[in-house]
Every structure is written in C-alpha cells, then in structure tokens.
C-alpha cells in the first residue's frame, strides 16, 4: 500500500536550518517523482521542489531558490528537504507527494498532478 510520512518539522529561528524527511512505503522512491509542497495559513498550497531519477530537481517556488535542497536516499527509501536561511515566510505545513516517473513540469495550487500525499509536518520560523 502506497504511503508517505513526513517528519522533521518544528520551531526554528529565522536564519536557521531544518531538514524534513519523507519516508515512503509500498513503492520505491527511485521509481517515483517525489515533490515537496507547503501551505501557509490563509494561503494556497504551493509546490516547492520535486525530485526524480530522470532529471535534475525541479524548483517550483522562486522564493526558496538557493535556500532549499531536495535529495533522495534510495537505500532508506526517503526523500529529504534541506531548508536553510529560513524566514518567517517559510512557516507552513509541509507535505510530500508522489507521482509516477517524472516530476510534473508545473503544479497547480491543488497539487492534483501528484496522486499520493503524506499528512504533512508543521514548520514554524520565528523572527
């Protein structure tokens, strides 16, 4: 059964770093595209980054460019989101989601392009 579980969220000071994990079961992350999404209070869900074996990672959110990095550990069947230089604007619930094969070239606010979702993990950045 396909399942994704996020972890690693928490409270961090502005300028700090945090690493989120997305553990997959029921499928191999190496065969799927795994994307990170986030939703801040009162805002639409937005895509952040996506990784697959078929291309370099895709950056969906301009605001995280140069600060966030997505990576994959096939042995652990886990995808990570390394977040550096965090700002209060990064505060959101972060979700990982899966899609067969390739990352979607673009994503809607609903994230309908990705069919498998985790429950999310809260990230709060204090000033």
Q: How far is CA 73 from the centre of its chain?
A: 14
Residues 55-114 pLDDT 10s? 899 999 999 999 999 999 999 999 999 999 999 999 999 999 999 999 999 888 888 999
**Residue 45 φ then ψ, to 5°:** -65, 140
- Supply the DSSP string of 62-75, one letter for each residue: GGGTTTEEEEEETT
Residues 4-62 pLDDT 10s? 999 999 999 999 999 999 999 999 999 999 999 999 999 999 999 999 999 899 999 99
What was the pLDDT predicted at 103? 95
Name the residue among 117, 124, 105 with its Cα closest to residue 37: 117
Cα gap 7→60, rounded to integer Å: 21
**Residue 27 φ then ψ, to 5°:** -160, 165
What was the pLDDT predicted at 81? 98
Cα gap 101→86, rounded to integer Å: 30
């Amino acid at each position: 059964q396909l399942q994704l579980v996020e972890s690693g969220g928490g409270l961090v000071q502005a300028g700090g770093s945090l690493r989120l994990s997305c553990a997959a079961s029921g499928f191999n992350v190496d065969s799927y595209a795994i994307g990170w999404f986030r939703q801040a209070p009162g805002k639409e869900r937005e895509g952040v980054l996506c990784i697959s074996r078929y291309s370099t990672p895709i950056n969906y959110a301009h605001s995280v460019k140069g600060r966030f990095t997505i990576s994959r550990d096939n042995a652990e069947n886990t995808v990570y989101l390394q977040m550096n230089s965090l700002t209060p604007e990064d505060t959101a619930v972060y979700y990982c989601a899966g899609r067969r094969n390739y990352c979607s070239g673009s994503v809607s606010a609903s994230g309908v392009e990705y069919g498998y979702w985790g429950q999310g993990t809260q990230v709060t950045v204090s000033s």
